[in-house]
Each structure stands twice: as structure tokens, then as C-alpha cells.
Structure 1
Amino acid sequence: MKITIIGGSGFVGTRLIDFLRASKEIDVLNIDKRDSTQFPEITQIGDVRDKVLLKSQLQGVDLVVLLAAEHRDDVAPVSLYYDVNVQGMKNTLEAMQAHNIKRIIFTSSVAIYGLDKDNPDESFPADPFNHYGKSKWQAELLLQEWHKLHPDWNINIIRPTVIFGEGNRGNVYNLLSQIATGRFMMIGKGNNSKSMSYIGNIVAFIHFLICEKKEGYNVYNYVDKPDFTTNDLVYHTGKILNKSIPTLHIPYILGMLGGYGFDVLAWLTRKKLKISSVRVKKFCAVTQYDSTKMRTSGFTPPYSIETGLRRMLEAEFMK
């Protein structure tokens, strides 16, 4: 089977390529706008916004895994979210159709549900609060319409919550780094649940979809259970690192005011800062999602969430 990963030079894509290449039955190609540091020999420079080039690169492919996305909180201009996440989806589908490729796995996001929702499952109505979530939902709508016109296609959509793991430099890494170095301040009470996904389980689930879900239109939330609260995350981090973690609690309203202050500073300096009102809001929000459908699909995650957390902390902070 020849599989092309679009956007495979980043964190998830690199781990996925490494996982898939262990199978002698899978031939992997990576298309990305930047080269891969670990797999340059199977990487072609491309861009989902360039349909002509994309069409030429998908010849002879059996299945496409679409990872490419604009996802940071501070992307500018905001039109990039829609150019890459929505138009990029349209370009990919049309390029696939040109070569009669009928299988696609798309990594969407639980961001389509919005913030502070009551444990939404896959049937929950979309209510995204930011441009990233809105553009991911619009990309899903394109897939819905496409499948109505192409019912013989196999379309699998994964909506993962925040992904963490060794080598990641996203929000979870920043949070764990602050906790591990004693520079952490708790905004709010810390009782808000935080659904998370370990990278080793995410790539294993994608492989499961490739091998086991070959028909129909399927949508899955991906969450590793149990959900931690922010207080739980601080506790487990301290226990794994064998550190006493002092926690200073900042009232939510003061945290948001501080976030707005950093928004103004970022605007004045034209610099991207690690703190913003959006990130404070996301930090304090309940981000808990139902993953019953994934857990009853026949897939067994190879790692517990505690093991995933330990592996990341040992790799990043116990060298």
C-alpha cells in the first residue's frame, strides 16, 4: 500500500512515518512545505495551496493522510487558516479524484466543539470559538458534502484533543516545563478537566484506521482516559519528577487581565508571545470530551496516559 502523508514533517507526522515504516507492506511518501529532519529521503516539497503541484505528487497513491494545518493561536493574517485548512482540503480532494484515490484520513480537532462544553461526543453540534476551530469544521463540511457525491469513498476523520509526547514543543510541553522548573502559577482553582492524547496512541490509532476502517464515513474523537484536572497534572508531574511543586493560585479575572496586557504588548512589539488572553482562556476552560466510540471501535491504545506522561517527562526533563 502506498500512503502519502500531507504535512508529515512536523511532530505528529514524523512519529507517524516512523510507525508506518516499521511495516513492510506500507510505502510512505511525505509532502510538506518544509523538509523533514528525520525523513528527507521520502519527502517532497509541496503545499496544499498548490493544487497543480499536489496533483502531480499524488500519482499512484492508495491512501492520503492529511495532517497539514495552520493551528497556532497567533497565525496572521487569519485568512491563512482558511487558505490552508479549508482550500487545502478542497485541493487535496480534487487532486485525489484526478488519480482515483478513494481513501483519506483527516486529522480535525475537538476545537470544532468550542470551549467549556459538557463532554461532547461525535454527535455534538459544532460551535467553534476561534478561527482554527472554524476552519477545521469547514474542512469537515467539505468532506461531508464530498461523501454525499462520492459514497464509494472511505473517509475517516479523527478529532484529537491536545496531543503531547516526547519531542513536542506545544502547549503541554510549555505547561510541563513551567511545572518542572518551579515557574508555574495556577490560574483559577485548577479543577477544570483536561482531556489529552499521547502521541504514541494517536499514531497507533491512525494505523488502526488504515488497516481496519476501509469503508464508509467515520468520525472519532480521540482522547486517552482518564481525564486529568490541571491539579492532577501538577500532582503527577511532581510525583514522576520526585519534586515538591509549589502552586500559587491566581484568580481567573486577574489572569485574564494579564492575558489582555500581553495581547497589547504583542500588538505593540509585533512579536508572538507565549502568553495571551486566548491561551489563558483555554488553560482555564474545561476541555473534556467523550471517546466512547473510539474505545469501542476495536482499538486498544498501547500506552496508558500515565505511561505517556512519564515517557515525555523522562525524555524532556530527566536527562
Structure 2
Amino acid sequence: MKINIIGGSGFIGTRLSNILIGKNLPFTIIDKVVGFSFPERTRKADIRSLEDLRRSIDRDAVLINLAAEHRDDVSPPSLYDAVNVQGARNLCEIATETAVKKIIFTSSVAVYGFAPLGTDEAGAILPFNDYGRTKWEAEEIYKRWQSEDPKNRTLVIIRPTVVFGERNRGNVFNLLRQIALGKFVMVGDGFNRKSMAYVENVAAFLEHSLVFKPGIHIYNYSDKPDFTMNSLITHVNNLLGRPSKIKFRLPFFLGLLVGSGFDLVAKFTGKKFPISAIRVKKFCSNSVYESSIKTTGFIPPVSLIEAIERTVNFEFIEGNKNDQVFYSE
């Protein structure tokens, strides 16, 4: 089995590569960036370029597509369509040329938008931003590719919730850093619940899905149990040796006003800030998802509570300052 990991130099791809090495599975990373961890296994290519892909993808390989534009503040916004949608078209065209029979695609729970509690894979598709919209459009492109030869082609679509872990510099890290610095202010009442996904578990499920048979397989991914923001902050404070009580709380409407103010400054200065209106909305919303992953026999290798402890210890207690980091949402 030959495995091509498109966008494999990033956060999830690096963890997945380590798992594949541990199981002696051959793989090649195809990415526009040659990463720090596996330069000798990387072919430089941009998913927006058919010619790049044509030169890079192996015949009859399993394709795992992790490439995406995913931040809240992508500029210009047309990059969402160029990478997520046109990239999917390009990948399917080359897959057909090279007799590829299996594609594993990391989508996102963003396709559901602000979803009702407990949304599973049958949930209504109501994306509220370009990221969620373009992930859904990409899913539809991959489904059309699979439908052209349904008895022989396998499509796996994985929709993770927010992915966190050591070395990531996304929203979860920013939250943990604010707590570690003693600068955290709770916005809202903190009773909203959040589904989270530890990077090691997501990567393990990607590897698990390599054996899936022809057909379309769609799974949400989140690790359980779901924390309320209050319980998450309290646990992190305890890990850091801080008082567990949350001292400062800001009403939601004031937090949204502050976020909108940062948006206005960003618009005129071009500077990006860790606070924005959409991030305040996401922080204060419920995002709890259910999944049928258990039906596949998959068991996450790391519990969620251990994953949080690993991340806090690595980033804020052990003092790992010089390690490679990955920037994402």
C-alpha cells in the first residue's frame, strides 16, 4: 500500500506520519511546505496546481487530504475556494488519472454551523462561514468522484471538532496561554459545552480508516466527555497550581462588543488579533457532537482528560520552548 498525505507537513499530518512509521507503512507527504520532521519523505506541491499533483501523486495510492485553508481570518477570502474546493476538484481529477481507489478527506464539523446539541452525521448542513461552506462543497466533489465507480472506490470523510494538542498554536492553545498568564476573562456564564479532539486520536483514526471497504463513510470526530467551559478552566487552573475559582466574568454582549472593536481595528490596520467577534461567538456557543465511530471498532488511544494534561504539561510546565509549532484554528 502506498500512502500519499496531501498537506502532511502540518499538525495532524506530522502526528499521522509518526503513527505510520511506527506501523512500518510506506507514505509520502505532498505539501507546498517542506516540514521540519520529514523532509526526506516530502514532495513539494500545491494542491491548487494540477501539474504539481500530477508530478507528485503515486499511481494506485491511498490519498489522505489534510490540505486546507482553515483560519477565521484568511485573506483574501477567495483562498477558501481555491484551496478547499478547487483543490478537491484537482485531487479527484488526478486520482482518476492515477487509478486511485481510496480517498480519506478531513472535513470539519463547521459544515453544520452553529449546530444543535448532539448533532451527529445526519445533522443539517448549515455552515455560517466560508470555511464550513467550502468544506461541504469539497465533500460533494469527493462524493461525485466515488459515485463514478462505487463498487471499487472508497471515500472516507472525517469531520473533526476543534483539534488541539502539543505544539499547536490554535484557539485552544490561545485559551490555555491566557489562563497560564493569569489574563483569562470568562465571557458568558461558562455553562456552554465544547466537543474537542486530541490530535493523536484524530491521527489514529485516520490510520484506522485505511482498511475501510468501498463505499462512502462519514464520521464526526470528537473525544468524550464534553467539558463545560467552567469545568475546563477549573481543571486547567488546578493543573497549573492556580486557584480553581474563575475570578472575572464578562457578559456576552460586552465580549461581543470588544471583539467587534478588534475587528474594526484589524480592518483599518491590517493587523491580526487573537480576539474577534466570531471567536467570541464560537467561545460562548455550545458545540457538542455525537459520532458513529464506535461502530468501526476504533478506540481512542488517549483519554480526553489525559490529552489536556499532556498539552498543559508540555506547553506551560515542562518549558518546551524550542520545539516546532503549527499554526491553526
Question: What's the TM-score bracket when you normalise by the shorter of the two chains?
Answer: over 0.9
Paired residues of 2:161 and 2:221 also in contact (CA < 8 A) = yes
Partner of 1:11: 11
Partner of 2:197: 197
Aligned AA (1:98): E
1:140 aligns with 2:119: no
| Cα RMSD for the two superposed structures | 1.1
2-side partners of 1:181 and 1:247: how far apart?
14
How is 1:83-94 mapped onto 2 (pairs within 5 angstroms)?
A: 83-94=82-93
2-side partners of 1:99 and 1:147: how far apart?
14
1-side partners of 2:84 and 2:116: how far apart?
23
2-side partners of 1:80 and 1:104: how far apart?
22
Shift of 1:215: 2.3
2-side partners of 1:201 and 1:154: how far apart?
22
Paired residues of 1:110 and 1:221 also in contact (CA < 8 A) = yes
Partner of 2:51: 52
Paired residues of 2:114 and 2:128 also in contact (CA < 8 A) = yes
1-side partners of 2:140 and 2:115: how far apart?
23
Partner of 2:243: 244
2-side partners of 1:18 and 1:34: how far apart?
18
1-side partners of 2:45 and 2:135: how far apart?
20
Aligned AA (2:296): S
| TM-score under structure 1 length normalisation | 0.97
Q: Following superposition, which runs of at least 4 residues in structure 1 exceed 3 angstroms of deviation?
A: none
Aligned AA (1:54): L
Shift of 1:62: 1.9
How is 1:112-123 mapped onto 2 (pairs within 5 angstroms)?
A: 112-123=111-122
Shift of 1:242: 2.3
**1:209-266 CA-partner distances (Å, limit 9, x unpaired):** 013x132110000010100111111011112222215431100000001111000000
Partner of 2:76: 77
Bigger shift: 50-59 or 143-152?
A: 143-152
Paired residues of 2:4 and 2:58 also in contact (CA < 8 A) = no
Bigger shift: 144-153 or 194-203?
A: 144-153
Partner of 1:295: 294
2-side partners of 1:6 and 1:305: how far apart?
27
Paired residues of 1:184 and 1:247 also in contact (CA < 8 A) = no
SS where residue 21 of structure 1 aligns? helix
Identical pairs, percent: 47
SS where residue 122 of structure 2 aligns? coil
2-side partners of 1:289 and 1:46: how far apart?
34
1-side partners of 2:261 and 2:61: how far apart?
50
1:157 aligns with 2:175: no
2-side partners of 1:162 and 1:295: how far apart?
19
Bigger shift: 51-60 or 69-78?
A: 51-60
SS where residue 266 of structure 2 aligns? helix
Shift of 1:119: 1.6
Shift of 1:59: 2.6
Partner of 2:94: 95
Bigger shift: 232-241 or 193-202?
A: 232-241
2-side partners of 1:226 and 1:180: how far apart?
23
Matched positions, count: 316
Shift of 1:116: 4.3
**1:143-162 CA-partner distances (Å, limit 9, x unpaired):** 22222222121000100000
**1:6-61 CA-partner distances (Å, limit 9, x unpaired):** 0011111111111111122x111001111111111111111110012201211334
Gaps of 5+ in 2: 319-329
Paired residues of 2:166 and 2:311 also in contact (CA < 8 A) = yes
How is 1:16-27 mapped onto 2 (pairs within 5 angstroms)?
A: 16-24=16-24, 26-27=25-26
Paired residues of 2:2 and 2:58 also in contact (CA < 8 A) = no
Shift of 1:207: 0.9
Aligned AA (2:39): P
SS where residue 273 of structure 1 aligns? coil
Aligned AA (2:181): T
2-side partners of 1:95 and 1:199: how far apart?
28
Shift of 1:192: 0.6
Paired residues of 1:65 and 1:104 also in contact (CA < 8 A) = yes
1-side partners of 2:115 and 2:105: how far apart?
24
1-side partners of 2:89 and 2:235: how far apart?
43
Partner of 2:257: 257
Aligned AA (1:313): V
| Aligned CA distance change for structure 1 residues 155 and 116 (closer, same or farther; 3 Å) | closer
**1:184-221 CA-partner distances (Å, limit 9, x unpaired):** 0000001111000011111111111013x132110000
